[in-house]
């Protein structure tokens, strides 16, 4: 267990050099590992075939990725929360992406097609991705996205948007499933993205910032 640090201590030690920085990085990685393990256990327990050792390895990879991201963005920390709270979110978000990727390995595209012609799946995604620190803003963005998908997108546009943006299914797999071609699928995705961007901008939300709140692919 690493030593207890205040936010100021973390910033000082991580920006230091030598043993002081090495120790701080090791302690931070331990925190990130706990966060990644918690998130993976919470999101993979229903369908993971991984044994405990594989789960730990996934968490190790997530923690390392989060650590690299934190050190690269350390200068962006504004002190609006505790440093450990800010850092913990990196591990949680990366683990969520990893959990979705692992889940897709055992799920066919036919299964992902369930409810793709409605927006029930979006409510489920929203429940999984909601962050209490941004809940009010997330709710506003979610309602804008939900209304746009429901009212302005065609059935095929909703389907392609769900698969590629929210489920992160590769384009070629979607093309094969729809028995179509890349140009047609790309056009469907492009038009869906354009409608979402326009609506978000009309409501005063920057597209990248809005979708970053949910840790999903940018449209």
139, 145 in Cβ contact below 8 A? Answer: no
In this structure, the number of other CB atoms found within 10 A of the CB of residue 157 comes to: 20
84, 70 in Cβ contact below 8 A? Answer: no
What number is the average pLDDT over the span 123-127?
52
- In 3-state terms, what secondary structure has residue 46? coil
Quote the pLDDT of residue 167. 74
Q: Helices then strands (H, E): number in the chain? A: 11, 0
Give the pLDDT band of residue 45 (cuts 50, 70, 90).
Answer: low
In this model, does residue 72 exceed pLDDT 80?
yes
Quote the pLDDT of residue 6. 92
Give the pLDDT band of residue 185 (cuts 50, 70, 90).
Answer: very high
Query: Higher-confidence residue: 109 or 21?
Result: 21
What number is the average pLDDT over the span 128-152?
69
Q: Which domains can be identified in the chain, with CATH numbers?
A: 7-106 (1.10.1740), 110-212 (1.10.10)
Average pLDDT over the chain reads 78
- In 3-state terms, what secondary structure has residue 24? helix
Percent of residues, the chain, with pLDDT higher than 90: 29
Quote the pLDDT of residue 10. 94
What number is the average pLDDT over the span 109-123?
51
The token pair that represents 156 in the structure block: 């095929």
Closest CA to 95 of 28, 168, 35: 35
């Amino acid at each position: 267990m690493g030593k207890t640090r205040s936010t100021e201590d973390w910033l000082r030690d991580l920006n230091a050099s030598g043993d002081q920085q090495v120790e701080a990085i090791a302690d931070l990685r331990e925190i990130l590992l706990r966060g990644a393990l918690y998130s993976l256990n919470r999101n993979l327990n229903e369908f993971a075939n991984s044994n405990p050792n594989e789960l730990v390895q996934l968490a190790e990879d997530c923690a390392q990725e989060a650590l690299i991201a934190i050190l690269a963005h350390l200068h962006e920390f504004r002190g609006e929360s505790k440093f450990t709270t800010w850092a913990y979110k990196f591990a949680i978000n990366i683990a969520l992406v990893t959990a979705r990727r692992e889940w897709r390995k055992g799920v066919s595209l036919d299964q992902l097609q369930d409810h793709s012609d409605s927006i029930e799946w979006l409510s489920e995604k929203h429940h999984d991705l909601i962050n209490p620190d941004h809940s009010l803003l997330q709710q506003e963005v979610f309602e804008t996205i939900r209304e746009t998908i429901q009212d302005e997108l065609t059935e095929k546009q909703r389907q392609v948007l769900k698969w590629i943006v929210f489920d992160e299914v590769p384009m070629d797999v979607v093309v094969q499933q729809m028995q179509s071609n890349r140009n047609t699928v790309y056009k469907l995705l492009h038009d869906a993205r354009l409608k979402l961007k326009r609506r978000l901008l009309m409501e005063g939300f920057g597209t990248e910032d809005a979708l970053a709140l949910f840790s999903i692919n940018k449209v």
